[in-house]
Amino acid sequence: MPSALRAEGLTVRFGGNVAVSDVSLALAPGEILGLIGPNGAGKTTLFNALTGYVTPESGRVSLFDRDITRLAPHERARAGCGRTFQTERPFEELTVLENVLVAAFLHEPRRSGAERLARETLEQVGLGDRADQPAGDLNLARRRRLELAKALATRPRVIFLDEVMAGLNPPALREMIAFVSELSRKGLAVLMVEHIMEAIVELSDHVIVMASGAKIAEGAPEAVMRDERVIEAYLGTD
Amino acid sequence: MRTHLLGLAAFVALGLAYPVLFPSALTIAITILLFVGWATAWDVLGGWAGQVSLGHAAFVGLGAYFVAIGVTEYGLAPWWSALLGMAVAAALAFAWGWLTFGLRGPYFTLSTIAFAEILRLVAINEGWLTGGATGVFIMTLPEPFGLDLFDRQTQYWLALGFAVLVIGIVVALSRGRFGYALRAVREDEDAAMAAGIDPKRTKLKAFMLSGALTALGGGLYGIVLSFLEPHVMFYLLLSVQIALTAIIGGRGTIWGPAAGAMVLIGSGEVFRTTFAEANLLIYGVLILVIVLFAPRGLVGEATRRAIRRRYAKRAQS
Ligand SMILES: Nc1ncnc2c1ncn2[C@@H]1O[C@H](COP(=O)(O)OP(=O)(O)O)[C@@H](O)[C@H]1O
Ligand SMILES: [Mg+2]
């Protein structure tokens, strides 16, 4: 099985503070990798190192066996990394459709093609009827879906989801879980950070647990949840 | 898109009718049209890409000097001189942007003031080329296609052509990939990168296009004045006026800068003739009122309201 995404020995330091310490991971197409850990564990920073937003002190990242360690974020997006941001960042002055259009232009340089792709993607995430609304006016759940639509419209091969389920009410949560599961069924490799254990257990093929920047456990979701180091990490820091 | 093309057609129709209706008021119309073009060109960078420049007089001066010197010293046709000026403007924009787009926030803006100031000093000190502080006179101009370029009427048509060209370019790019890349970079560079957009490259392209178009108007301005001196051409106040025109009219909107030019330059002229000494005060109050009650600019507020209203209506039905 070729790996869609592979990271080896990633270390990120902010001044004297080691935010990510020697983390390695591998992800196959169609696989869902769940990343959990207490607040401040370094999950978002790891995402940023994988997608090019922070420069790691050491380590390598490759996408379908292509070394992308030195690529800038926009180059990684072109190579197939799609990402959401933990604090959603819609282009507030643009409409919902235009937000997705920006992303759709990546592989559809013409307006007609890009608009078709953007509308399809909005339908997919259930925002079809919101296309003409200013993005700044959306509520939290819809902003999350817009983040997802923006990431998907770049036609990624690996998608990074940073807490897209946080704060959703139960029905919205069920929808989101079904949606992510569908993405992986279509062959997309999914790396997701999530605090909602229900989603992690149900979706993940594999789970990595981080605490204080380091990987402290990994394996199948149920096994990891019973791991004592994991329980301690959660109880110890909270 | 269709509305903007209709708007452009209306603008052209108005422009065609004007000299028939007000044949004795061409000079003010030329000034307004130059500002329509400059403010719209400024807005490609300042509004669409969100990088506020206070140095666009540099491009005005560059265009004007290239036409004046090209025509009087080297016998070049005015068109070629203007094209050359545009190319050099684009090259300088590239170089300056390359150096300064790493700066975030107000530092890029401050650096553009220095940019225009440097060009002004060059124009003063390189007297062998530019006539130094005394300036350059354009005494004779060739008559391409039998056009008398000193004739106000001819200048008016050229100014109208310039304004229409710049607005037309903005209409064309507003719907396409580049137009959306500009807006995305303005709103959030990190999120733009997630969509595969290279912020620096996008800003450089905007700066080059904006500078080249401003220089084209500058070349025409030089012909209209037919006398160039560094203190007028690279004047900070001119830079500020261009920026203010676009901001008051509505940054990042197609018709905002044009509306701003008509309101500001038009009313500035009226105030100057009717209120004499008090004109600057009244002008200032006008600007203040717009900034307070329409912070997105005249057209900016109107379009945002229209979008909200259209969406609300559709959501109800
Ligand atoms: N840009 C930054 N500069 C300095 N420190 C940072 C930065 N981003 C994150 N950190 C620090 O790195 C650690 C990991 O943060 P983060 O990756 O956001 O954790 P998580 O997403 O797991 O909650 C925290 O101690 C945080 O304060
Ligand atoms: Mg986080």
The closest of A2, A22, A10, A3 to A61, measured between CA atoms, is A10
Mean pLDDT rounded to a whole number for chain A: 93
Spell out, as residue ranges, where chain B has pLDDT lower than 70: 1, 105, 275-280, 316-317
pLDDT, tens only, A100-159: 999 999 999 999 999 999 999 999 999 999 999 999 999 988 999 999 999 999 999 999
A152-170: average pLDDT: 94
**Contact (CB<8Å) A91/B304:** no
What pLDDT, on the 0 to 100 scale, is given for residue A236? 62
Given CB atoms, is A95 within the 8 Å cutoff of chain B? yes
Sequence letter at residue B187: E
pLDDT, tens only, A20-76: 999 999 999 999 999 999 999 999 999 999 999 999 999 999 999 999 999 999 999
Cβ within 8 Å of B, A 110-129:
111, 114, 129
Q: Is A45 in the pocket of ligand 1 (CB under 6 A)?
A: yes
With both helix axes pointing from N to C terminus, report the angle between B78-100 and B199-225 in degrees, rounded to the nearest 10.
140
Tokens representing B171? 């209409």
Is the ipTM beyond the 0.90 threshold?
yes
Q: Is A43 in the pocket of ligand 1 (CB under 6 A)?
A: yes
What pLDDT, on the 0 to 100 scale, is given for residue A32? 97
In this structure, which residue's CA is closest to atom 25 in ligand 1? A40
Buried b (16+ CB within 10 A) or exposed e, A79-112: bbbbbbbeebbbbebbbbbbbbbbbbbbebeebe
B185 close to B197: Cβ distance less than 8 angstroms: yes
Tell whether pTM > 0.90. Answer: yes
Domain edges within chain A? 1-80+156-238, 90-155
State how far the Cα of A195 lies from the Cα of A208, in Å rounded to an integer.
13
CATH superfamily, domain A1-80+156-238, is P-loop containing nucleotide triphosphate hydrolases (3.40.50.300)
- Is the predicted pLDDT of residue A8 greater than 80, yes or no? yes
**Contact (CB<8Å) A132/B307:** yes
- Is the predicted pLDDT of residue A238 greater than 50, yes or no? no
Nearest Cβ partner of A132 from B183, B188, B311?
A: B311
A209 close to A215: Cβ distance less than 8 angstroms: yes
What sign for the dihedral angle of Cα A108, A109, A110, A111? positive
**Contact (CB<8Å) B311/A133:** yes
What pLDDT, on the 0 to 100 scale, is given for residue B143? 77
